[in-house]
Structure 1
Amino acid sequence: MPDTPLLDTVNIPADTRGFDLAQLRQLADEVRVETIDAVSQTGGHLGAGLGVVELTVALHHVFETPRDILIWDVGHQCYPHKILTGRRDRIRTLRQGGGLSGFTKRAESEYDPFGAAHASTSISAALGFAAARDQKDAKNKVVAVIGDGSMSAGMAYEAMNNAVEATSGQLMVVLNDNDMSIAPPVGGMSAYLAGLVSGGAYRSMRRLGKSVAEHLPRPFRDAARKAEEYARGMVTGGTFFEELGFYYVGPIDGHDMDNLVPILKKAAAIDDRPVLVHVVTQKGKGYAPAESSADKLHAVVKFDVVSGKQSKAVSNAPSYTKVFGTELIKRAKIDPTVVAITAAMPSGTGLDLFGQAFPERTYDVGIAEQHAVTFAAGLAADGMKPFCAIYSTFLQRGYDQVVHDVAIQKLPVRFAMDRAGLVGADGATHAGSFDIGYMGALPHMVLMAAADEAELAAMIATACEIDDRPSAFRYPRGDGVGLDIPELSAPLEIGRGRIVREGTAVAILSLGTRLQESLKAADALAARGVSATVADARFAKPLDADLILRLAREHEALITVEEGAMGGFGAFVLQLLAEKGALDAGLKIRTLHLPDVFQDQDSPFAMYQQAGLNADQIAAAALSALGVDVAAGAARA
């Protein structure tokens, strides 16, 4: 355990309120050490948290949390916050089964007033808290910390545009700028200017000037206001935020506690309009391996603290994400109309590889999934072949655009939905649970799910050939199963599945990568004398009606298996069987899907065990459908 004598005296933020600046600096150093040590044992998001250590300490020192509301955008920067808010004793359970969430979570602590794992929600939520406070005539303060790319999403600006009208009291937005994308390098002069414009004397002078200007004729009044705002904008860069109605303070060095604390105190006293405090930080600050890494060790597995070397297991198969990137490059080499779109996740979606090969055909639109989808629709409408690569859970944010801008117009946008199914340590917020239902509900959509890496390659080829309607293919986080991939995969026949193993008594119809577990289940059934057919559906839409009806006709029981929520593939199959009268003769059917709960983080195996989608559970469902008493060990041929 690291040596942290001052941190050892802090159980909750109130314990820091009497600290002087020297103690706050020491506390920040110890929180950074504790964060590094904890994440080295659990894995998780490291770089973002290290960048906000001083800011976290300062905010909890200045504001009376939890009475004052503190909301962290995205939540992956909240590990230091958790250490300071009574959860240090559990910090080494981060992202583990039964442990702390890797994000803020309301059910976990009163210091997490709003849960967040997707980006750009903090200002809207904070504005809601501020409006609720105003309605109750309370006096607490509200702070939202947003950054790490989240300001690229339109939702943040929608909230800021509404802020002046929605609340008449205090509201602070802290813009954590860790990419130097807005402000020039900061130093003593910028800290001085930030302190100056946040101070009472300057604000009093502004109010006096405004009161005088109000008595001037309108042209002179408007000119005076513009002159004052643009004069400030020339030295502080805040004109844009001022136009949205915010009082701008910054930029300030987010690691300089001597300036950070007094400026936050001054800004907290501004209650006549919302205030934006622009804080410049360094992602990965204070840990050399993170500072020197290209991604600042944004997300890591367990690692050695001294060297920074991560304990990554060696795999015999490529990740599905890498297969996607590699196969798309193959398609782009022979088709100049293939282009790729990502929403701030080039490495997460494999499009970093595509971007290296075709930089001019790669578009990263930032955290703006709505824009990404409609942008892709525009490309498709003018004859390009856009592949829109967005995590299943993030595509939910662009669903209206999928419906309105893509599906209704039958535009051939190709959606690559990474992280389909359960995602282990990232938990419910990042699980790709719902895309089968929400994409399969759309007219004209072709919806595929890869059972392995070779099937994924074939589905990319298939999507490339679909030019008269939208298509989507889903694949999970993690590695493939080790199958060979052809040099150039042939496209699949639309709406056609495949029989993988022939049997007689029960049919297991799998959609996606539970196919391997389905084959293991068939082995287990064979050991009990039960002959099982295993089929790979490949398509959730259009369904292979001939295959499904044959399975229903030739087997006593049919089991559907999918890595998605209820209302998805199993529901589609049931509807087909009902419409065709295939249930009338007494077919026994079970639909296995994710449970109707939001599953907390755990190992993937444990999560699928909870979901009832591992091999032994698939076999048990088949035996149950056949009327076999599993506990009694009976067998049926």
Structure 2
Amino acid sequence: MADDHDKDKQLAEKPQTPLLDTVNSPADLRALPREDLRQLADELRAEMIDAVSVTGGHLGAGLGVVELTVAIHAVFDTPHDRLIWDVGHQAYPHKILTGRRDRIRTLRQKDGLSGFTRRAESEYDPFGAGHSSTSISAGLGMAVAAEQQGLKRNVIAVIGDGAMSAGMAYEAMNNAGAMDARLIVILNDNDMSIAPPTGAMSAYLARLVSGPVYRGMRETAKTIAKKLPSVFHEPARRTEEFARSFFTGGTLFEELGFYYVGPIDGHNLDHLLPVLTNVRDAGEGPILIHVVTKKGKGYGPAEDSADKYHGVSKFNVITGAQAKAPSNAPSYTSVFAKALIEEAKNDDRIVAVTAAMPTGTGLDKFAEIFPARTFDVGIAEQHAVTFSAGMAADGLKPFCAIYSTFLQRAYDQVVHDVAIQSLPVRFALDRAGYVGADGPTHAGNYDAAYLGALPGMVLMAAADEAELVHMVATAAAHDTGPIAFRYPRGDGIGIELPERGTPLAIGKGRIVREGSTIAILSYGTRLAEALAAAERLAALGFNPTVADARFMKPLDEELIARLAQSHEVLLSVEESAIGGFGSHVATFLARNGLLDGKLKFRPLMIPDVFTEHASQADMYAAAGLDRAGILAAALDTLGYDEAAMHAAADRIG
């Protein structure tokens, strides 16, 4: 009865959306009178707020593009016209309008909708996203593909101003500006406005310069200029550009070869619709439309606190209060930040670098105490790494804090600018391993493999939050080359933390449970699950050894050899992909004749697939990296058949 009451209450509180209820595709939207689109946008915003309050996810960015989403689908013939959302976390309104409304409350849930755009999910998602600044490159590729195949098609790339800080966006614009491909870039300026709109005059100018009359006059002027002596060509071009830029801005984009329109109010459909229509009908050549929006638009709590409501857990729509599960332990991110602050208090050469993620990496806390020693370089991971290398080359101690998944974007810089020169850059790899609802685009599964291949790189993985504190201290004290330490998303296990870390001996692990027959060698935060599996094995009559490797590079070869020579079974356990810790252990064992038939070695790792979004617990279970999976692997390696394993599991519960 209580469940029925809760369902009735939810139905009663669900927003009324009579117009949105008639829209199952963009074709339905295009059939509506233009004067109804304002109401549709209001209903779409209410539906999105209600849906995200149930699932959690990215809120502010999507609220900021509601009107823009409606306008694009009203003007362009999607999906024939290609619409690409950079990053993709602002695409929830787009998903609702493109046939996925019935599943919108499965966002980021297991077997539900992705929190980003995804090709396999809908024909309206022509290009998948997750990382930033890829939309213009992909859009240009699609525009060229259309041209090569003789198709008349618009390609629209919507990119936020934050994503414009990445060099890839400018590389793509530089390429597109030298071509006549049919590419429309919409710059969603939702933070630090490049040139704020000035009301009705700005909107009028945008309509004017995007319209056929002005563009026709511009082409006529170009034709006349060509008939003049060549000495007049460049002055004429600059005069026209200056006159337009004086009122509208956009000289940078013009220099890159784009026809610039804007800025315009991204929440005013009376401004958006005519400009988009003009641009749609403009013909060939790349065009950039500059729209100014507000993150969180239409929802007070999100407007007032854009950072807090960028990504949210489930929340109360009326109060905005987010429902977060209580924890007795701090997050790994906050532990890293506190540990780094303590080190920096004692060493004024320590500086911190982040790539547009000060809050996500905890460096906002560091910046409160050491503002002059904190550097946010924007979404520019390549620059962040080489910038850190430059500081290290001249005596500073840079901690480059980047999510594992984002460091992938700077791999060449890690190799060429840091590792080859043996510069002591300290890499703090947050969100290492499974990241749950953010799915495969954000999974930090590969750092152990791609960094482990580099000579001279020291690699550590924290088993718990106390170990993380010690690894920060180890990195601070390490001055002979690059060093990296990884730690996962989420909270620690709740153990007591030291006030300040103690540097660890490089390349040395530790035994945490002494036993025989079975040895479990853990690298990283699967140690707690390995110990839990060991207790279950002990209940079955075994007496397993459990060790914490601490280091993947250099390996503790003495410890591994000891485990291999004194046990029948050796399991390695890690929350990273093939090519990581287990591969290094296997190579050492093989090279040293320790796989002689007596020892049974099995590496446990993340499967060689892109794992779909789900809870982290579900991911660990599916990968066999929880206590049950480790227990099953140990018994199977010992030769127990499936029936015996089930019987054993029943005995220990």
Under a length normalisation based on structure 1, what TM-score does the superposition of the two structures give?
Answer: 0.98
Render the CA deviation track for 1:325-379: whole Å, top value 9, x for unaligned: 1111111111010000000000000000001110100000000000000000000
- Asked if residue 184 in structure 1 is aligned to residue 196 in structure 2, the reply is yes
Which of 367, 373, 378 in structure 1 is aligned with 2:379? Answer: 367
- State whether residues 496 and 538 of structure 1, in contact with CA within 8 Å, keep that contact through their aligned partners in structure 2: yes
- State whether residues 302 and 308 of structure 2, in contact with CA within 8 Å, keep that contact through their aligned partners in structure 1: yes
Counterpart-to-counterpart distance in 2, 1:272 and 1:130: 11
Instruction: Give the secondary-structure state (helix, strand or coil) at the position aligned to 2:186.
Output: strand
- State whether residues 436 and 568 of structure 1, in contact with CA within 8 Å, keep that contact through their aligned partners in structure 2: yes
Partner of 2:615: 603
- Asked if residue 529 in structure 1 is aligned to residue 529 in structure 2, the reply is no
Counterpart of 1:32 in structure 2: which amino acid? Answer: R
Render the CA deviation track for 1:152-208: whole Å, top value 9, x for unaligned: 10000000000034x524210000000133012431111011001001111111111
Instruction: Give the secondary-structure state (helix, strand or coil) at the position aligned to 2:185.
Output: strand
Render the CA deviation track for 1:529-566: whole Å, top value 9, x for unaligned: 11110000000100000000000001000000000001
Partner of 1:558: 570
- Asked if residue 271 in structure 1 is aligned to residue 283 in structure 2, the reply is yes
Partner of 1:332: 344
Which of 480, 483, 486 in structure 1 is aligned with 2:492? Answer: 480
Counterpart-to-counterpart distance in 2, 1:591 and 1:554: 18
Render the CA deviation track for 1:59-82: whole Å, top value 9, x for unaligned: 011011001100000000000000
Which of 10, 14, 27 in structure 1 is aligned with 2:40? Answer: 27
- Asked if residue 217 in structure 1 is aligned to residue 235 in structure 2, the reply is no
- State whether residues 296 and 306 of structure 2, in contact with CA within 8 Å, keep that contact through their aligned partners in structure 1: no
Give the gaps of 5 or more residues in structure 2: 1-13
Partner of 1:140: 153
Aligned-pair distance for 1:140?
1.3
Instruction: Give the secondary-structure state (helix, strand or coil) at the position aligned to 1:472.
Output: strand
Partner of 2:136: 123
- Asked if residue 8 in structure 1 is aligned to residue 24 in structure 2, the reply is no
Partner of 1:570: 582
Which of 517, 525, 529 in structure 2 is aligned with 1:517? Answer: 529
Counterpart of 1:478 in structure 2: which amino acid? Answer: G
Instruction: Give the secondary-structure state (helix, strand or coil) at the position aligned to 1:37.
Output: helix
The percent identity for this pair of structures is 68
Instruction: Give the secondary-structure state (helix, strand or coil) at the position aligned to 1:556.
Output: strand
Which of 334, 359, 362 in structure 2 is aligned with 1:350? Answer: 362
- State whether residues 193 and 292 of structure 2, in contact with CA within 8 Å, keep that contact through their aligned partners in structure 1: no
- State whether residues 508 and 556 of structure 2, in contact with CA within 8 Å, keep that contact through their aligned partners in structure 1: yes
Render the CA deviation track for 1:6-34: whole Å, top value 9, x for unaligned: 00000000001122332111110000000
- State whether residues 518 and 634 of structure 2, in contact with CA within 8 Å, keep that contact through their aligned partners in structure 1: yes
Counterpart-to-counterpart distance in 1, 2:622 and 2:308: 34
Instruction: Give the secondary-structure state (helix, strand or coil) at the position aligned to 1:356.
Output: helix
Render the CA deviation track for 1:276-297: whole Å, top value 9, x for unaligned: 0000001000001111114161
Partner of 2:272: 260
- Asked if residue 54 in structure 1 is aligned to residue 63 in structure 2, the reply is no
Which of 120, 137, 141 in structure 2 is aligned with 1:107? Answer: 120
Counterpart-to-counterpart distance in 1, 2:330 and 2:53: 25
Mapping of 1:156-555 within 5 angstroms? 156-165=169-178, 167-295=179-307, 297-555=309-567
Instruction: Give the secondary-structure state (helix, strand or coil) at the position aligned to 2:318.
Output: coil
Under a length normalisation based on structure 2, what TM-score does the superposition of the two structures give?
Answer: 0.96
Count of residue pairs the alignment pairs up:
635
Instruction: Give the secondary-structure state (helix, strand or coil) at the position aligned to 1:406.
Output: helix
- State whether residues 48 and 76 of structure 1, in contact with CA within 8 Å, keep that contact through their aligned partners in structure 2: yes
Counterpart-to-counterpart distance in 2, 1:152 and 1:164: 18
Partner of 1:37: 50
Partner of 2:6: none
Partner of 2:593: 581
Counterpart-to-counterpart distance in 2, 1:296 and 1:571: 40
- State whether residues 13 and 85 of structure 1, in contact with CA within 8 Å, keep that contact through their aligned partners in structure 2: yes
Instruction: Give the secondary-structure state (helix, strand or coil) at the position aligned to 1:390.
Output: strand
Counterpart-to-counterpart distance in 2, 1:136 and 1:492: 60
Instruction: Give the secondary-structure state (helix, strand or coil) at the position aligned to 1:76.
Output: coil
Instruction: Give the secondary-structure state (helix, strand or coil) at the position aligned to 2:561.
Output: helix
- State whether residues 96 and 602 of structure 1, in contact with CA within 8 Å, keep that contact through their aligned partners in structure 2: yes
Counterpart-to-counterpart distance in 2, 1:25 and 1:239: 32
- State whether residues 529 and 635 of structure 1, in contact with CA within 8 Å, keep that contact through their aligned partners in structure 2: no
Instruction: Give the secondary-structure state (helix, strand or coil) at the position aligned to 1:399.
Output: helix
- State whether residues 171 and 271 of structure 1, in contact with CA within 8 Å, keep that contact through their aligned partners in structure 2: no
Counterpart-to-counterpart distance in 1, 2:213 and 2:635: 79
Counterpart-to-counterpart distance in 2, 1:169 and 1:23: 34
Counterpart of 1:317 in structure 2: which amino acid? Answer: A
Aligned-pair distance for 1:269?
1.6
Instruction: Give the secondary-structure state (helix, strand or coil) at the position aligned to 1:524.
Output: helix
- State whether residues 48 and 283 of structure 1, in contact with CA within 8 Å, keep that contact through their aligned partners in structure 2: yes
- State whether residues 515 and 536 of structure 1, in contact with CA within 8 Å, keep that contact through their aligned partners in structure 2: yes
Render the CA deviation track for 1:557-588: whole Å, top value 9, x for unaligned: 00000000011100000000111111124210
Counterpart-to-counterpart distance in 2, 1:506 and 1:589: 10
Q: 1:542 to 1:48 in 2, by over 3 A?
A: same
Partner of 1:89: 102
Counterpart of 1:52 in structure 2: which amino acid? Answer: V
Give the gaps of 5 or more residues in structure 1: none
Instruction: Give the secondary-structure state (helix, strand or coil) at the position aligned to 1:500.
Output: strand
- State whether residues 140 and 181 of structure 2, in contact with CA within 8 Å, keep that contact through their aligned partners in structure 1: no
Counterpart-to-counterpart distance in 2, 1:117 and 1:383: 36
Counterpart-to-counterpart distance in 2, 1:505 and 1:335: 46
- State whether residues 451 and 512 of structure 1, in contact with CA within 8 Å, keep that contact through their aligned partners in structure 2: yes
Instruction: Give the secondary-structure state (helix, strand or coil) at the position aligned to 1:71.
Output: strand
Q: Which moved more, 1:301-310 or 1:286-295?
A: 286-295
Render the CA deviation track for 1:121-155: whole Å, top value 9, x for unaligned: 00000000000000001001110000051001000
Counterpart-to-counterpart distance in 1, 2:574 and 2:445: 10
Partner of 2:5: none
Instruction: Give the secondary-structure state (helix, strand or coil) at the position aligned to 1:507.
Output: strand
Q: Which moved more, 1:82-91 or 1:584-593?
A: 584-593
- State whether residues 628 and 635 of structure 1, in contact with CA within 8 Å, keep that contact through their aligned partners in structure 2: no
Aligned-pair distance for 1:227?
1.4
- State whether residues 623 and 630 of structure 1, in contact with CA within 8 Å, keep that contact through their aligned partners in structure 2: no
Instruction: Give the secondary-structure state (helix, strand or coil) at the position aligned to 1:112.
Output: coil
Counterpart of 1:42 in structure 2: which amino acid? Answer: T
Q: Which moved more, 1:260-269 or 1:48-57?
A: 260-269
Aligned-pair distance for 1:635?
7.1
Aligned-pair distance for 1:312?
1.1
Partner of 2:644: 632
Counterpart of 1:83 in structure 2: which amino acid? Answer: I
Q: Which moved more, 1:348-357 or 1:483-492?
A: 483-492
- State whether residues 283 and 296 of structure 1, in contact with CA within 8 Å, keep that contact through their aligned partners in structure 2: no
